[in-house]
Amino acid sequence: MAIGKAAIEAVGVTKIFQSSGQDSLKALDNVSVTIGENEFFTLLGPSGCGKTTLLRLIAGFDFPTDGQILLHGQDIAQLPPFQRPVNTVFQNYALFPHMTVGQNIGFGLEMQGKPKAQVEARVAEMLRLVQMEELKNRRTSQISGGQQQRVALARALAPEPKVLLLDEPLSALDYKLRKEMQIELKRLQNETGITFIFVTHDQEEALTMSDRIAVISKGKILQVGSPRDIYDRPAVRFVANFIGETNFLEGKVVSTAKGQAKIALDAGTTIAASLGEGAKPSGKVTVVVRPEHASVVASSGKATLLGKLENIVYFGTDTHYHVKLNGGGEFTVRHQNVHAGALAFEKGDKVGVLFGADAARVLRD
């Protein structure tokens, strides 16, 4: 997806937390990323990777040790939070317990000094947007978790921020409600046209909702791209491993041509693979193949790799074949169960694994 005008740009942002002892923690390490206007952008990574720190720096709850944070080209890194046209949906919602639903939603506008009538009108509009008109005068303690989530969203959207920050807002909801809210969030983003920056550790959430995803680990952005980019074309081992299941094959580059490479695998076979973004065209490399991008075939026919079928696991919608490769290593293949019928292979069979050069990708590391 092409990035339009930049809403938020992080330029060489580093954040070091100085603890009381001599040890300090580098939460963000020279991070640069551009987030477009009207984009649903997700920061994805395991807990403690720095994604929430980046969000807090954009919100203004913390200040970078080094680097700039630009909002529409202006550096806001040193502004206090109340001077930034950026609002946050907190993980625990942080609704004001001494105010009603309506007062919560109107708080931001009131603090901006908007006239009462305008605040009232906007609160009514926001309540309609999140379908909660009848709960305006309830206390926040008298509504359900899903409703609190909607109030938190309405409260953050009411002042029409340039950017909405969402800090794992769905993690406290149960599975069904989470699915509903994922759709709701996408709808709200389409209707308001506001840039959403969404923090999550849930890869599925990231893949289904985002326009683009930045995968973060240990304070560094490893890859930025569309969900399809990230899933189909992981650039590094961490991304391939963190998102979905993957087969890793180790080998050496024999030759390269037109973005493709011949790789001599440690297991003995030579395969064709495409070179990932920034992949080195020589020496020892790792190749990844998604289980659903390969198929199990008869060992007598055309096969990329040969092995023995060790295990078959039936999952309803699809079946996983675990193949022990000749020359060492394991390989998992996922077949979708298209129609009922006898399985073509049985445990213990000698089989082949087939995949093309476009399914095998050479990683950067």
Partner 1 sequence: MARTFSVRTQPGFTFIAMLCFFLLYLPIATLVVYAFNSGQSVAIWEGFSFRWFESAWNNRAVQEASIRSIFIATFAAIVATFVATMAALATTRTAPYPGLTFKYAFINQPLMVPEIVTAVALLIVFSRIKVWTGYSGIAYLLAAHTAFCIPFAYLPIRARLENMDLTLERAAADLYATPWNAFKRVTLPLLWPGIIAGFMLAFVISLDDVVITEFVKSGGQETLPTYMLGQLRRIVTPEINAIATVFLLISVAFVTMFFIINRKKP
155 binds partner 1 (CB under 8 A): yes
Name the H helices within the chain: 51-59, 101-111, 116-129, 145-157, 175-192, 203-209, 227-232, 237-242
Within 304-343, which residues bind partner 1 (CB under 8 A)?
Answer: none
- Tracing tokens 């037109």 back to the chain, one arrives at 258
Angle value at C-alpha 26, between 21 and 29, nearest 5 degrees: 160
Spatial CA neighbour of 299 closest among 337, 269, 334: 269
Locate 298 and state its tokens: 């008869």
Q: Contact with partner 1 (CB under 8 A): which of 20, 22, 317, 336? A: 20
- Is 21 near partner 1 (CB under 8 A)? no
Using CB under 8 A as the binding rule, whether residue 15 contacts partner 1 is answered as: no
Pairwise CA distance, residues 30 & 100, whole Å:
42
Dihedral pair phi/psi, residue 293, rounded to 5°:
-95, 5
CB of 276 to partner 1, least distance (A): 39
Residues 157 to 176: which contact partner 1 by CB under 8 A? 159
Among 105-113, 116-124, 130-138, 357-365, the segment contacting partner 1 (CB under 8 A): 105-113
Among 41, 107, 196, 331, binds partner 1 (CB under 8 A): 107
Q: Is 234 in the site for partner 1 (CB under 8 A)?
A: no
Q: Residue 166 is inside which H or E element, if any? A: strand 163-167
Residue 108 Cβ, how far from partner 1 at the closest point, in Å?
4
Number of residues that bind partner 1 (CB under 8 A): 24
C-alpha dist (Å) from residue 104 to 89, 154, 159, 261, 355: 13, 9, 12, 58, 55
Interface stretch with partner 1, choices 36-44, 153-161, 277-285, 307-315 (CB under 8 A): 153-161
Q: Counting contacts by CB under 8 A, is residue 115 touching partner 1?
A: no
* Cβ count near 269 (within 10 Å): 17
Selected range binding partner 1 among 85-93, 126-134, 211-219, 235-243, rule: CB under 8 A: 85-93
356 binds partner 1 (CB under 8 A): no
Residue at 211: amino acid letter? D
| 148 binding partner 1? (CB under 8 A) | no
CA dist., res. 233 & res. 77, Å (int): 33
How many Cβ atoms from other residues are within 10 Å of residue 107's Cβ?
Answer: 18
CB closer to partner 1 out of 138 and 350: 138
Token look-up 């050496």 returns 252
Give yes or no for residue 225 binding partner 1 (CB under 8 A): no
> Cβ(196)–Cβ(189) under 8 Å?
yes
Residue 141 or 336 having the CB closest to partner 1 = 141
Residue among 84 and 293 whose Cβ is closer to partner 1: 84
Provide DSSP, 79-111.
Answer: S-GGGSSEEEE-TT----TTSBHHHHHHHHHHH
Under the binding rule (CB under 8 A), the answer on residue 149 touching partner 1 is no
- Any bridge partners for residue 360, and if so which? 289
Question: By C-beta, is 151 or 362 nearer to partner 1?
Answer: 151
Instruction: Name the DSSP letter for residue 232.
Output: H
Comparing CB distances to partner 1, the nearer of 147 and 326 is 147
* Residue 90 near partner 1 by CB under 8 A: yes
Q: Is 97 in the site for partner 1 (CB under 8 A)?
A: yes
- Stretch binding partner 1 (CB under 8 A), from 31-39, 115-123, 154-162, 302-310: 154-162
Among left, alpha and beta (phi > 0; psi -120 to 50; other), residue 158 is: alpha
Q: Rule CB under 8 A: which residues touch partner 1? A: 20, 59-61, 80-82, 86-88, 90, 92, 94-98, 107-108, 111-112, 155-156, 159
